[in-house]
């Protein structure tokens, strides 16, 4: 599921991949408008499945971080941190609860705000099975290798 959810650099929010055009991707906003628009090769587009968070040991896939937030918030949107008014310390405290080993030098407050915003967008769009999406993808890859 996270493979079809995209972040586009310079544009707020998240986008769902709808279709592939000749020289572009057709994406749909995941806000209330569900507006469709093209995303071109010149845009920096990344799938949420390809994003990871820095930790002191190694990078942790975003799906694991999202699952940790979901467990902390009991499947609801993040209400304990207001991303518009939260201080750097509040954001770092939140992240410390979610991912205790996150790299405090390479993960910025703006990254944590974006993470919370993305999590809330996913929850509001009923995308909550972050690990299940991974297992389906890994299962598909194993079957492909056997063929």
Profile the chain (147 residues) by mean pLDDT over runs of 10 residues.
Answer: 88 94 92 91 92 94 95 92 93 96 95 95 90 48 38
131 in Cβ contact with 139 (< 8 Å): no
Q: Please report the pLDDT score of residue 142 as a whole number.
A: 38
Q: Please report the pLDDT score of residue 3 as a whole number.
A: 87
Closest CA to 129 of 90, 83, 75: 75
Enter the tokens of residue 118: 């993305």
Q: Please report the pLDDT score of residue 130 as a whole number.
A: 82
Domains of the chain: 2-48 (2.30.30.730), 51-141 (1.10.10.1650)
Q: Please report the pLDDT score of residue 132 as a whole number.
A: 57
**Burial letters 69-82, b for 16+ CB under 10 A, else e:** bbeebeeeebeebe
Question: Which stretch of DSSP H or E encloses residue 118?
Answer: helix 109-124
pTM for this model (two decimals): 0.85
- 75 sits in the region (left: phi over 0; alpha: psi -120 to 50; else beta) called left
């Amino acid at each position: 599921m996270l493979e079809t959810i995209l972040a586009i650099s310079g544009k707020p929010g998240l986008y769902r991949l709808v279709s592939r055009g000749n020289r572009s991707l057709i994406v749909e906003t995941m806000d209330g408008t569900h507006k469709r628009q093209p995303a071109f090769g010149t845009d920096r587009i990344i799938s949420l499945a390809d994003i990871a968070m820095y930790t002191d040991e190694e990078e942790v896939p975003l799906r694991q971080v999202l699952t940790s937030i979901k467990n902390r918030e009991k499947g609801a949107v993040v209400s304990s941190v207001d991303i518009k008014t939260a201080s750097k310390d509040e954001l770092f405290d939140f992240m410390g609860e979610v991912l205790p080993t996150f790299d405090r030098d390479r993960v910025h407050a703006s990254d944590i705000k974006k993470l919370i915003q993305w999590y809330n967008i996913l929850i509001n769009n009923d995308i909550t099975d972050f690990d299940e999406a991974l297992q389906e993808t890994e299962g598909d890859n194993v079957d492909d290798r056997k063929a």
